[in-house]
Amino acid sequence: MKNLMNTSIRYQFRGDNDYVIEHLTGFESIEYSLNAGESGGVSNPAYLKKVDEFAQWYRKQPGVMYVGTLTDTMKRLNKNMHGDDEAYYRLPEERDLSAQYLLLYELSLPFGLDLNNQINIDKSSTRFTAILESVSTQHALALEKRAQKWLRENAPPEMASHGASPLIMFSHIAKRNIDSMMIGNTLALLLISVILIAVLRSFKLGLISTVPNLVPMFMTFGLWGWVVGEIGLAVSVVAPVALGIIVDDTVHFLSKFRRARVELGKTTEESIRYSFHTVGPALFLTSLILVCGFLVMTFSGFRMNVQLGFMTTISIIFALLADFLFLPTLIMKLSKPITENKSHP
């Protein structure tokens, strides 16, 4: 069972991935294209110095595993060309010397390789690669922002550039997703309440319905925040998914309650009992079935599915508890004043 939960063992790819990160290098990177402003400008000593300064600043940032740039190659070439004297592990000071080192390097590359994955064909820009440890999207975006600030403050204007990489892309996607989820969820909730008010033909009942719709979500996220503390793309998707299922329970309970109250003329307590008798078992069973279904997802090797499974299970359970324990008492508490008004449709 323990092995089942340990994805490193279950999946060769994951195990290899973790090994690489622990012993070799990282998989997340941020790449920059640093422009020298003129053709052949990568040989300019001032440009190389700036790139080197940027690299040194970057290396000091938390979460950065490694920074690779052309300047490291240049320093090494300089050292090699001076009999491997350590004192020469520094950037060449003359522009033509840098250009000639590049030529030497280009002439020595084996088949299929050229410098074009590090320098553009015009020799006016070089590629700057920062490899990161497994960091959160928040961390990555913040780091990128700081880097851009450094470039704006310390480097000539033509060198300013955005970081680019799958990590940056996904970080932005996740952020955008979460932001729009929040708006979407709120809108959905409002709409559902409005529709319930219209369908139940009661302002009070419609408003009351928002409570058992919202409360399970709050409780689920609260529990998650307490136990896990991190929200990602998967978790943000749970709210709308679970909302649909939660609303079901509420609608069934309230529509039966309304029928009992309005059509059959029963009292509040009798109507609540009526609801329990008619839809109670069904609510319980469907929730149980759904919980079993979503629990299966928690066996997945894919973390997003596990999280989705867990969260939805918890929210369905909370929804059932809210509808069975909270909603009836809420109705009874709020119904007293309107009992007299509502006895005639």
- Of 104 and 288, the one with the shorter C-beta distance to other proteins is 104
- Residue (115 or 317) nearer to other proteins, CB: 115
Rg of the chain (C-alpha set): 31
Q: C-alpha distances in angstroms, 323 versus 102, 151, 221, 283, 331?
A: 72, 56, 18, 9, 11
Q: How many CB atoms lie within 10 A of CB 252?
A: 18
Residue in 9, 19, 25, 39 binding other proteins, rule: CB under 8 A: 39
Residue 46 binds to other proteins (criterion: CB under 8 A): no
Cβ atoms of 185 and 239 within 8 Å: the answer is yes
Give the whole-angstrom CA distance, residue 35 versus residue 187: 45
**Hey, is 34 helix, strand or coil?**
strand
Q: Is 99 in the site for other proteins (CB under 8 A)?
A: yes
Position 183 contacts other proteins (CB under 8 A): no
Determine the Cα–Cα distance for residues 51 and 62; give it in Å rounded to an integer.
Answer: 19
d(CA 305, CA 43): 50
Min. distance of Cβ 84 from other proteins in angstroms?
13
Least distance CB 37 / other proteins (angstroms): 15
Q: Which stretch binds other proteins (CB under 8 A): 38-46, 57-65, 203-211, 289-297?
A: 38-46
Region 108-137 residues binding other proteins, contact defined as CB under 8 A: 108-116, 120-123
The smaller minimum CB distance to other proteins, of residues 110 and 229, is found at 110
Q: How far is Cα 220 from Cα 307, in angstroms, rounded to an integer? A: 12
Interaction of residue 345 with other proteins, rule CB under 8 A = no
Number of residues in contact with other proteins under rule CB under 8 A: 30
Q: Does residue 91 interact with other proteins by CB under 8 A?
A: no
Write out the residues near other proteins by the rule CB under 8 A. 39-40, 43, 81, 92, 94-101, 103-104, 106-116, 120-123
